[in-house]
Amino acid sequence: MRRSILLICWLFTDVVLFIGAYAAAYFIRVGFIVSTDFPLDLYMQTVAITAPVWLIVLAELGVFRLLRVQSDRKNLLHLLFACVMASSLFTLAYYFLHDKFFSRLLLVEAGALNLLFTVVWHLAFDQWQRRILRKDPPAYPLLVIGANREAERFIALLEQKLSPLKPLGILDPQGSSRKEIAGVPVLGKLNRLEEILASMKPAYLVQCSNLEHSINLISACRSHRITYILLPSVHGIVGEKKEFVSIEGQILATVRE
């Protein structure tokens, strides 16, 4: 529910900012008057038609994924591409609907304002939604397998970045004398895996050690519909289809169906 509300708010505010950017560009270029040579109503109609297409482009590029880091270079390039695409679509739509041309400088100003508004808002929204998603109960609870230094480093990274992925517990294959790691409780050995999965209901499981348990962990994740990921230091899931993902700048591999 929390994720759905956040996504709806995100889409709505993006549309508002898109329309606002193009409206601001109109008044900057034409002045705070309604021009008869370049009617505001025809202009805004075209903006309203272009806005949903712009949202679809952003969605197809994966920009609205709640786990995506909005300050990532790849994401910023996707925002730039979407804004350029929106300017092109707006130009074509205005010409074919109204059979008229308009100021090229206005188009540049609208595209620049659209990019500025979108980048600033997405960076701000990213920080806000992280705090919302981490509130108890977290939207993306994480179970950590392994009580080694790699696990400790990864947990510290998630906490430092306020990642939506929030570790709730650790299981260590060999058992650990430590009661907690980086503030996350050690819950026992892997013989408690099914019990912990049923009670905690994690959305993600990350393996940080013990390659020999990979197949069993993947099987358990599939049966509980949990996303399985592993650190690069854990290798060799033989026969499985892997793809690499980035979480808070940490490269990991995930296994897909």
If one counts the domains in the chain, the total is: 2
Which domain-ending residue is among 80, 102, 134?
A: 134
CA torsion 143-139-78-47 (nearest 10°) is 170
Q: At 52, which amino acid appears?
A: P
Q: Is the peptide bond before 164 cis (omega within 30 degrees of 0)?
A: no
- Whether residues 238 and 144 fall in one domain: yes
Which percentage of the chain shows pLDDT scores above 70?
Answer: 88
- Whether residues 6 and 82 fall in one domain: yes
- Whether residues 71 and 89 fall in one domain: yes
- Whether residues 109 and 127 fall in one domain: yes
Which domain-ending residue is among 99, 134, 169?
A: 134
- Whether residues 121 and 15 fall in one domain: yes
Ranking 30-34, 153-157, 250-254 by mean pLDDT, the lowest is 250-254
CATH code assigned at 195: 3.40.50.720
Residues ≥6 apart with Cβ < 8 Å to 204: 140, 141, 142, 143, 165, 226, 227, 228, 229
- Per-residue pLDDT, averaged over 179-195, amounts to 88
The model's pLDDT over 58-107, given as tens digits with 9 standing for 90+, comes to: 999 999 999 899 999 999 999 999 999 999 999 888 888 877 766 778 88
- Whether residues 155 and 64 fall in one domain: no
pTM, two decimals, is 0.81
- Whether residues 246 and 125 fall in one domain: no
Which domain-ending residue is among 110, 134, 158?
A: 134
Query: What range defines the domain where residue 148 resides?
Result: 140-255
Q: What pLDDT, on the 0 to 100 scale, is given for residue 75?
A: 94
The model's pLDDT over 203-242, given as tens digits with 9 standing for 90+, comes to: 999 988 877 888 888 889 989 999 988 887 776 544 445 5
- Whether residues 124 and 222 fall in one domain: no
- Whether residues 207 and 127 fall in one domain: no
Distance CA 217, CA 145 (A): 9
